[in-house]
Amino acid sequence: MKPKLLYAIPLVGSIEWLKDNGALTRYLKEFNFLKSKFDITLISKDKAKFNINKDLQHESLINAPTSIRNFLFLFFPILKPRIFKEADVYYADHVSGAFPLVLGKFLFRKKLIVRFNWDWSYFVKHEYNYITYLFVRFLENISIKYADIVIATTPHLENIVLEKLKFKNKVVVIPNWVDTDLFKPNKSKKKKNSIVSIGRLVPQKDYLLLLKSLNHLKNKYSLTIVGTGPQKNTLLDYAKKNNIKVNIIEKIENSEIPKYLNLHELYVSTSRYEGHPKAIIEAMSCAIPVIATNVVGNKDAIINKKTGIITQRDPKEISIHISNLNKSKSMKNKLANNARDYVTKNCGFDIVTKRISEELLSLIKK
């Protein structure tokens, strides 16, 4: 008989959100691996149950406004105690989904693993008001403090857990995974002088900096951005005013992203900060040369001048890196091959999910 795993979808998302944004297929791949070892029950803040897979049970909340469901999610083990009581081990895919599991841990004496793949309170501090930040920091501190194991996706996040949050139990560094069979180079003909980037159209990603960098290159390059967000019109207006070729592609399935990556010569990230950036390592897995800003997250994903280029957040410097890299076929090939090799050896799906399942099983044995 397989052990029972209670898996919390992040509070910052939901099954409905994942489905609408094309990311559910990524989760399904992970669930399909884990269900070979566990009987899985998912919990999320959704207003209705989803029939995701015949082997997966999904528990949702009531049909109510999102703000109410966000609050009720925190007290899931009180609302639906049976599923918490029957589970052998709890797993939070992100710290934002961990609080109800912490509560369940104390109510029913269970073991808990929390995955820390981006610094939730740091993001909120830069994007929301101070009251929201204090509340999120409280949830984050409690969720980390009472975990039995924390999985950090980068050494930087590991240091936050150990030093800033003073965690006393086991911390392991396991990166985000990439489906290297899906995200792989192909023989598509690349658009000349083309750049691609993937992410939300928000200040954190700072696509305006990327457009300013292309402005220095006198409109020689075209840019494709895959993402949605409130800055769409601002970016399009700047591009039109400066005669920059920009194509913004909204919601697409995760399985379609490799097709867009492989059509372009370079991937550029101008983020202000990151966790362990999935979009960058997916581009690396497709053997697309990457240029990324010298910020938290990007620096953990790239070895400068070996698997990609790290640049300062300056439009002139970024433009020089773009121009120099695109002119050097040998450097592009070196970075592309090294990047693909790095991802397959460190971030491959089988490698990462096996390590996660081993940590879950180790808690059950204890």
- 127-170 pLDDT, tens digit per residue, is 899 999 999 999 999 999 999 999 999 999 999 999 989 999 99
- 316-356 pLDDT, tens digit per residue, is 999 999 999 999 999 999 999 999 999 999 999 999 999 99
One domain, residues 339 and 357: no
- 82-121 pLDDT, tens digit per residue, is 999 999 999 999 999 999 999 999 999 999 999 999 999 9
Q: Tell me, what amino acid is at 35? A: K
144 domain-assigned: yes
Contacts of residues 249-255 at CB distance under 8 Å and 24 or more positions apart, as own/partner, are 249/224, 249/225, 251/20, 251/21, 251/22, 252/22, 252/226, 253/22, 253/25, 254/22, 254/23, 254/25, 254/26, 255/25, 255/182
One domain, residues 329 and 245: yes
- 245-259 pLDDT, tens digit per residue, is 999 998 788 889 999
Domain region containing 298: 194-346
One domain, residues 26 and 146: yes
Query: 210 falls in which pLDDT band (50, 70, 90)?
Result: very high
> Is residue 246 within 8 Å of residue 194, measured between CB atoms?
no
One domain, residues 70 and 25: yes
One domain, residues 353 and 256: no
CATH code (residue 223)? 3.40.50.2000
185 domain-assigned: no
